[in-house]
Amino acid sequence: MGRLSVTLCGVELSNPVIPASGTFGYGYEFADYYDIDCLGTLSFKGTTSQPRFGNPQIRIAETHAGMLNAVGLQNPGVDAVISQELPRLAKVFHKPVMANVSGFSLEEYVCTCQKLDAQPQVGWLEVNISCPNVHGGGMSFGTDPAAAASVVRAVKAVTKKPVIMKLTPNVTDIVSVARACEDAGADGLSLINTVQAMRIDLYTRRPLLANGTGGLSGPAIFPLAVRMVYQVYEAVSIPIVGLGGVSSAEDVIEMMLAGATAVEVGAANLVDPYACREIIAALPAVMDKYGIKELRDMIGGAHG
């Protein structure tokens, strides 16, 4: 194992840096900019059982130290992802990938996860029960511990690969949801997704986004993400993928100290397509600055 390597749910990563779902397409789009094999892995665009056109425009808005999005899980559906997107990705990325799955019912989660679990490229299933930008699914499962656990049990019954549950910060107690997922058999947790938020247009005096609300991402939510990762690490024994506003090598190490085994980078990719590559390249020097020999030794290092 190299100096930057970590092991996520039994699968070794050359480094802990992972582009977050929704900010990196299906991966091959970024191969025009750099060799994406430098990544630990990538979480591809959220996939549902059927094609989705997403929410109406306007669905993206900038804000202080971040952005709002209400894209609404636009994707071509799982069958098209398997037949078209994954073969394209295989030409430029030669490591296991993380399949991000969304749904509006237990049956949909089961169908989509079962199909993606069968794909040799897929190393992990990141099951999104936290999307704040759709109605009748996503976050409605992630705000209730019992509902979250029901998704875990249903997905685990039809899959063999590690299941990582992606949790919402839009709850009073994220620890109770995390524990429910672990008790139901989840192999890992991913947190946090975006924070539900709003902008209002001063000319129209109406919400700027057509959906009304959207998910806030970017540096503005980083301290919130660190706090939630720290709390969940104290409560569970399964690995955590930390995300939310990560934009530098220092952020990666801070998130790992809070308890993350691996770290996803989201909105930073939309600001700078080279963000993940630059973070990975910067890690050795930052590790030297803080006297860190092996990055994996930082996991949970802030806990007594």
Residue 275 above 90 pLDDT? yes
Residue 168 above 60 pLDDT? yes
What share of the chain has pLDDT > 90, as a percent?
A: 91
Neighbouring CB atoms inside 10 A of 126's CB total 25
pLDDT for position 135 = 46
Residue 246 above 70 pLDDT? yes
Average pLDDT over residues 260-273: 97
Domain boundaries, the chain: 6-48+79-190+217-298
Which pLDDT band holds residue 54 (cuts at 50, 70, 90)?
A: confident
* Contacts by 290-297, CB closer than 8 A, 24 or more apart: 290/253, 292/253, 293/3, 294/3, 295/3, 295/4, 295/5, 295/6, 295/15, 295/16, 295/253, 295/256, 296/1, 296/5, 296/6, 296/7
pLDDT digits (tens, 9 = 90+) for 175-228: 999 999 999 999 999 999 999 999 999 999 999 999 999 999 999 999 999 999
Phi, psi of 11 (to 5 degrees): -110, 125
Annotated catalytic residues are 131
Average pLDDT over residues 271-288: 98
Residue 133 above 50 pLDDT? no
pLDDT for position 260 = 98
Which pLDDT band holds residue 25 (cuts at 50, 70, 90)?
A: very high
pLDDT for position 3 = 97
Which pLDDT band holds residue 96 (cuts at 50, 70, 90)?
A: very high
Structure tokens at 185: 């058999």
Beta strands in the chain (DSSP E): 6-8, 11-13, 17-19, 60-63, 66-69, 97-101, 122-128, 163-166, 188-191, 195-197, 200-201, 206-207, 214-217, 240-242, 262-265
Structure tokens at 45: 């665009």
Which pLDDT band holds residue 53 (cuts at 50, 70, 90)?
A: confident
Reduced 3-state DSSP string for 139-196: HHHHCCHHHHHHHHHHHHCCCCCCEEEECCCCCCCHHHHHHHHHHCCCCEEEECCCEE
Q: Span 6-48+79-190+217-298: which CATH code?
A: 3.20.20.70
pLDDT for position 83 = 98
Average pLDDT over residues 226-238: 98
What share of the chain has pLDDT > 70, as a percent?
A: 96
Summary mean pLDDT of the chain = 94
Residue 136 above 80 pLDDT? no
Residue 261 above 90 pLDDT? yes
Residue 170 above 50 pLDDT? yes
Average pLDDT over residues 120-139: 74
Residues 78-113 as b/e (b if ≥16 CB within 10 A, e otherwise) read: beebbeebbeebeeebebbbbbbbbbbeeebbbbbb
pLDDT for position 140 = 65
pLDDT digits (tens, 9 = 90+) for 5-17: 999 999 999 999 9
pLDDT for position 143 = 85
3-class secondary-structure state, position 228 = helix
Residue with tokens 């939630």: 228
